[in-house]
Amino acid sequence: MNTLKGLCASKGIGIGTAYVYVKPFITIENNIITNDQKETEINIFNNAIKKSSDEINNLISISKLDDQKHVLTAHLEILNDIALIDETINKINNDNFPSDRAFKETVDSFIAMFENIDDEYLKARGEDLKDVYVRAICNIKNIPFTDSLDTLEKDTIIISKDLTPSDTIKMDVDNVCALVSELGSKTSHTSIIANNLGIAALVGANDVCKHVKTSDVVIVDGFNGNIIINPDDETLSSYIKKRDEYLQHLKDLEKVKDLPATTLCGETLSVCANAGSVDECVKAFEQNASGIGLFRTEFIYMHSNHFPTEEEQFEIYKDVAKSSNGKYVKIRTLDIGGDKELPYYEFDEEENPFLGLRGIRLCLKLKDIFKVQLRAILRASAFGTIQIMLPMVISVNEILDTKKLIDEVKFDLDKENISYDKNIKVGIMIETPASVLNADELAKNSDFFSIGTNDLTQYILAVDRGNSNIANLYDTFHSAVLKSIKIVIDSAKKNNISCGMCGEFAGNDEATKLLLGMGLKEFSVSSSKVSQVKHTIRTNKISDCANIFNEYL
């Protein structure tokens, strides 16, 4: 028995037989070509891109999972990226490189560029490029691109150096119980797909391909990162028990889906979902979320090449409203600035962007652009229960200034005979120390609070939420953050307004009972966590949880 470690990328326990998946071995020589070979090499390259695109298109058409389709569509875009193609052809033309070498050197320089960017998302796009590279280079060199994961024995554990989305696309998923790879990150597409399939996955498992052989019996623990090779009988039977308990737990969660979030003491709470697109709202309501506790609108702006027009926004908010079937949706007004930029708007250089012109501050500066959004939201409010939520508030004036703009928009809509919800609720996110300390004054001017613990934690603790050097200090369980949360919940109660939480903490397994005891009534979490939170609520009494808060002080 031997135990290795990996990073947990998807929860679960897999017990099965290892299949060590080895990819084609590709060598690229450092040779150069003569001038009259250039045209042939360019043709080889162009044909390989075309063949690879056709193969990916074919995979898109047979793929059963939406996430896989998205990944493959992203692959198609990367493969046909004009910069990638031009740069490769330049290397053939100017450096006399053969097509394989030209393509490899271009891809290497692009990957290095992605890896130097301190952003998990872009790093993961570098992983996509590596994936696309293998397919295309096989086609350039006329090496068969292996698809050997399409027929597998029952309970197979796939061990690989770098398991890419293309590998998983044709995978015989019904027979796979876990994935382990030496490379990859927690946010890579493979992790996302493993999560969707509901199987355990570990990434960053150093040298796993060296230590595990095909046919070894392996246990993969997606909770603590252990990979146990050829376990003894005792370990094996204790893991079989753990796995079966976890599978039972998942079955229990399934049953909870259609039941209300009612505690054992009889109080029914709201378990909402966070969303950033119409698709995500649909997913949330499939999970029976009580509403959308946070609809992030910044993605609409970030995925556009211009400030989205009123009509463009209206169509989206209307679809969101319609998807909700009468349940409420809190649309958060544009929360940009900080680390979120727009390709078509030049932000001033700021020393401390997270303390700079972001959230409501920027909107109140760009009033015309803000009014376009408010008008689109108000118009959509005729199609469902929409509420307006303001981010990054620090003072009553910001609420009053926004309400003044809302009144101006309402006045125009009335004049134009356009319908909207005249009693639309306007609430705020509590994300700053100022909003905690002035919660009472803010409550008197708000219809609801929603605690944004992602930002609140960074501002209370003065710990940048994206800085990996101090990631160990970023802790929402810190007593100062918990005391802040308690002040806000109590203030909302005293002022008779509702209080939810839409930061990640609301979906943290270990925090649910604590928050229940602190008096939180609305949890807004990612769709995949709705049942889990509901399950915890349904199996507890609020009074039994009341003391947990004191244990953290």
* Side chain identity, residue 449: F
| Segment holding 164, helix H or strand E | none
Least distance in angstroms from the C-beta of 504 to ligand PEP: 7
* Single residue of 13, 72, 136, 294 touching ligand PEP by CB under 6 A: 294
* Residue 384 touching Mg ion (CB under 5 A): no
User: Rounded CA gap, 462 and 244, in Å?
Assistant: 43
DSSP state of 2: E
Q: What are phi and psi of 273, to 5 degrees?
A: -125, 155
For every residue of 102-157, DSSP letters joined together read: HHHHHHHHHHHHHHTS--HHHHHHHHHHHHHHHHHHHHHHT-----TTSS--SSEE
Least distance in angstroms from the C-beta of 222 to ligand PEP: 25
Give 139's Cβ-side CA count (13 Å radius): 21
Least distance in angstroms from the C-beta of 431 to ligand PEP: 5
* Residue 455 touching ligand PEP (CB under 6 A): yes
User: Rounded CA gap, 475 and 463, in Å?
Assistant: 9
* Residue 338 touching Mg ion (CB under 5 A): no
Cα–Cα nearest to 145, from 166, 120, 176, 119: 166
Least distance in angstroms from the C-beta of 453 to ligand PEP: 5
Pattern of binders to ligand PEP over 381-420, x per CB under 6 A? Answer: ----------------------------------------
The residue among 298 and 431 lying less far from Mg ion, judged by its C-beta, is 431
User: Rounded CA gap, 507 and 476, in Å?
Assistant: 12
For every residue of 405-446, DSSP letters joined together read: HHHHHHHHHHHTT----TT-EEEEEE-SHHHHHTHHHHHTT-
Interface with Mg ion: number of residues (CB under 5 A): 3
Q: Spot the catalytic one: 281, 363, 499, 502.
A: 502
Q: What are phi and psi of 440, to 5 degrees?
A: -60, -45
Least distance in angstroms from the C-beta of 445 to ligand PEP: 21
Question: At a CB cut-off of 8 Å and minimum separation 6, what does 328 contact?
Answer: 291, 292, 385, 386, 387
* Residue 128 touching Mg ion (CB under 5 A): no
Beta strands in 146-254 (DSSP E): 156-160, 176-181, 200-203, 217-221, 226-229
User: Rounded CA gap, 164 and 188, in Å?
Assistant: 9
Interface with ligand PEP: number of residues (CB under 6 A): 10
Pattern of binders to ligand PEP over 250-289, x per CB under 6 A? Answer: ----------------------------------------
For every residue of 313-355, DSSP letters joined together read: HHHHHHHHHHHTTT-EEEEEP---BTTB--TTS-PPP-S-GGG
The residue among 41 and 522 lying less far from Mg ion, judged by its C-beta, is 522
* Residue 453 touching ligand PEP (CB under 6 A): yes
Cα–Cα nearest to 91, from 116, 114, 115, 109: 109
* Single residue of 455, 460, 491, 516 touching Mg ion by CB under 5 A: 455
* Residue 503 touching ligand PEP (CB under 6 A): yes
The residue among 71 and 429 lying less far from ligand PEP, judged by its C-beta, is 429
DSSP state of 71: H
Least distance in angstroms from the C-beta of 31 to ligand PEP: 51
* Single residue of 16, 337, 452, 500 touching Mg ion by CB under 5 A: 452
Return the range that interacts with ligand PEP (CB under 6 A); candidates 77-85, 94-102, 318-326, 447-455: 447-455
Q: Is 189 a residue of the active site? A: yes
Return the range that interacts with ligand PEP (CB under 6 A); candidates 170-178, 200-208, 301-309, 451-459: 451-459
Q: How many CB atoms lie within 10 A of CB 258?
A: 8
Q: Is 535 a residue of the active site? A: no
The residue among 49 and 294 lying less far from Mg ion, judged by its C-beta, is 294
Return the range that interacts with Mg ion (CB under 5 A); candidates 61-69, 254-262, 426-434, 441-449: 426-434
User: Rounded CA gap, 205 and 88, in Å?
Assistant: 33
The residue among 128 and 455 lying less far from ligand PEP, judged by its C-beta, is 455
Return the range that interacts with Mg ion (CB under 5 A); candidates 70-78, 88-96, 450-458, 460-468: 450-458
Least distance in angstroms from the C-beta of 357 to ligand PEP: 15
Using CB under 6 A, list all residues that contact ligand PEP.
294, 296, 335, 431, 452-455, 502-503
Active site residues: 189, 502
